[in-house]
Amino acid sequence: MTKFATHHLLPLLFFALLLIGCESVSSTSQFYRPSTARVFPPKPKEYSVPIFSKPPDRPYTVIGRLSFTANARYSFMIRAIQYNTRLHGGDAAIMLHEDTERRPYNYYVPGYTSYFPVTTYSAGVANTKYCGPSSPGSRSEYGTSTSTTYIPVFNPGYMSVGMLTLHSIDASIIRYK
């Protein structure tokens, strides 16, 4: 792929991935392109949309086309075709092209600081001298002490490579004559 095509295709691809990543089939309606100026009423949600791998035997008219690539499950892609077919009043869809591609991608996990507790225990005798109203004196007492200090520990960031699975579909939305 040329440098020009890569610089222009990648932002569009990542925008589509970002948009589709949340798995909302309603967001795929922006990838529908009508083939006619005529607008048809939407089909009810209960309408079962058939998706054909080849054109059906009965007469039909292509009313639009749905084509996009996403980092989503194949079942999501099928639901998107069915959703757009119902939304735009289609009776069925014809799958023109479908493809699955796996691509490596780089990601960065930033460094962070965590704090490790260090607790110190001590015990001993404390001698004190004092001056009182009657006479000077001294006293010894046994005691214990606990102290916790948090030591910062830096965990460095790192780069890694993941695999991205992209599904592409291209379907014609049809209406029977």
Q: pLDDT band for position 6 (50/70/90)?
A: very low
Per residue in 67-77, pLDDT (tens digit) is 999 999 999 99
pTM of the model: 0.61
Q: pLDDT band for position 13 (50/70/90)?
A: low
Record the tokens describing residue 149, joined without a space.
Answer: 């200090």
Of 98, 94, 67, 61, nearest to 80 (Cα)? 67
Of 95, 102, 64, nearest to 169 (Cα)? 95
pLDDT at 119 over 50: yes
> What CATH number has the domain spanning 23-108+158-176?
3.30.110
Per residue in 34-68, pLDDT (tens digit) is 999 999 999 999 999 999 999 999 999 999 999 99
Q: Domain coordinates of the chain in residue numbers?
A: 23-108+158-176, 112-155
pLDDT at 141 over 90: no
Is residue 106 within 8 Å of residue 117, measured between CB atoms? no
Per residue in 86-116, pLDDT (tens digit) is 999 999 999 999 999 999 999 999 999 999 9
pLDDT at 5 over 80: no
Per residue in 128-139, pLDDT (tens digit) is 776 767 667 777
pLDDT at 150 over 80: yes
**What was the pLDDT predicted at 14?**
54
**What was the pLDDT predicted at 140?**
78
Cross-strand partners of 176? 60
